[in-house]
Amino acid sequence: MRTIALSKDVLVGEIGYGLMGLTWRPNPPSEEQAFKAMKAALVQGCNFWNAGEFYGTAENNSLTLLKNYFTKYPEDADKVVLSMKGCLDPQTLVPNCTPAGLRSSVENCIRLLPPSIKTIDFFEPARLDPSVAVEETVATLVELINEGKIKHGYMLSEVRGSTIRRAHKIHPVSGVEVELSVWEMEVLGEEHGAAAVCAELGVPLVAYSPIGRGMLTGEIRSHDDIPEGDFRKHSPRFQPDVFSVNIKLVDELQKLAVKKGVSSSQLAISWVLARRRYFKSSSSDQLTVIPIPGSSFEGRVVENASAKDVEWTEEDEKEVSRILGVFEVKGGRYPEGATKFLAQ
């Protein structure tokens, strides 16, 4: 698998692995099943793992899962590059990026996942705190890096290009995590600016939900297919009044996947990878994108990783552009209460 530099001497595979679904869902998989999926990701070269302090309960979250995994497989600890999201209240999902809030979050992560088992390579405020200037947030993160509590650097999540630029002036940003898929392309636009600034500064764009929260697999055919307690049950884009419209986009993309002889998931991830070639900004700099699909099934992890081998042609790009020109996605990404922390 092609490798990408997150910082000096830190290389990761061109496709990463998102751990959210292993602990933050109504019926999380067994530890045995999760371990098989995690091992499969590493074997496939997907060594960049994205996790969250708040992904799950106090007893079963990303950190407790990782501690158990690396205790069982200590030889894998140095092979995995771990990005940990934090600074988000698990009950209210309100960010706290004050110096005290940042320190508390990082120190809790270290408590749950001791450095003797696995270091936190990169730390990432899951959302920025509107009451704290990004410069102050980055200054605290730099202190934590210098103290050795964060090994390599920091990342940002759900931020605009202007915010990335401000943060980068204080200390280089190692990556910016945003939602990006055929289902969601706001970050590619001039108004948002994240993709353009990342390309200019040479900062990798980490694309979460590259399969549209599972919608682009085609396996969810109605609102009723979503389990009770699942986040998507309340997501505007999955509501009954727009579902019948949004599924038309999925069906059209599936036709292209069948024509290419690939799965719908592979098609979706391939489109994200192709933004390296097809994203255009005012500068001539190339965008680096790392999709981080997540799955709790070993076979699906292998399938997703194989998207790197799918040939993306000019004809494919034109066909997807045609489809997007006809079928517009309806509904917002998040329920209203969560939108105020997006695109800061």
Whether the CB-CB separation of 259 and 253 falls below 8 Å is answered with no
Q: How far apart are CA 110 and CA 118, in angstroms?
A: 9
Distances (CA, A) of 256 to 147, 262, 265, 278, 328: 50, 9, 12, 18, 17
Q: How far apart are CA 18 and CA 50, in angstroms?
A: 5
Report, as residue numbers or ranges, the catalytic residues. 55
Helix intervals (H) in the chain: 20-23, 31-43, 62-72, 99-112, 134-146, 161-170, 194-201, 240-260, 264-273, 275-278, 298-305, 314-326
Angle between helix axes 161-170 and 194-201 (nearest 10 degrees) is: 30
The dihedral built from the CA positions of residue 214, 190, 256 and 4, taken in this order, carries a sign that is: negative
Tell how strand 3-7 and strand 10-13 pair up.
antiparallel
Q: Tell me the one-letter amino acid at 116.
A: S
Whether the CB-CB separation of 95 and 341 falls below 8 Å is answered with yes
Whether the CB-CB separation of 42 and 76 falls below 8 Å is answered with yes
